[in-house]
Amino acid sequence: MKMTSTNITIENLHTHIKYDVDEWVHETDKKVLMVSWDYENDDLDNLMTTELRPELNDKLNMIWVNKLIEKSGWIKGEKLYAYLKSNADGYFNVWYSKIKEEIGLAHLIIEPTGYVSRAYFNNYTTDQYKEDNIQYVFFMRTESIYNDIICEDK
């Protein structure tokens, strides 16, 4: 039976997640951050699934990006590219690099200003209509608690 909790919200989501759980992270020499949570808690799992695969108009928490910044050594003025992937419930890995080509298809970019942009995918087209600006994937600054804080600091 799955648990639910009414006190987990987008505002406090980051207090309910863990990073780099030792028994799960086997590639300590790689540029990867593991973000994990209790997937048996429905509220938490739903919010974290949205953090992993946002859709347009979803407001995210993304405070976990601070841990990514810390681990990667990102500093203002640089770009950081990240690819997010999950193979099971309750976690996702964030593969990161300051070199775009090392990541390939990025899902997240930390911009030189500190804002975070996320990739959004158009499931109804591929790259064949670029001349009309109909994109398969595009990036935008995601509405999030994290980006709100960056905006307030400016």
pLDDT the model gives residue 26: 56
- For residue 113, which of 147, 72, 66, 84 has the smallest C-alpha distance? 147
- For residue 46, which of 64, 54, 95 has the smallest C-alpha distance? 54
pLDDT the model gives residue 137: 83
- For the entire predicted model, the pTM comes to 0.86
Residue type, 62: M
Residues in Cβ contact with 35 at an 8 Å cutoff, skipping those fewer than 6 apart: 17, 18, 19, 48, 51, 64, 67, 91, 92, 93, 94
Low-confidence ranges of the chain (pLDDT < 70): 1-6, 21-29, 126-129, 154
CA-atom Rg of the chain in angstroms: 16
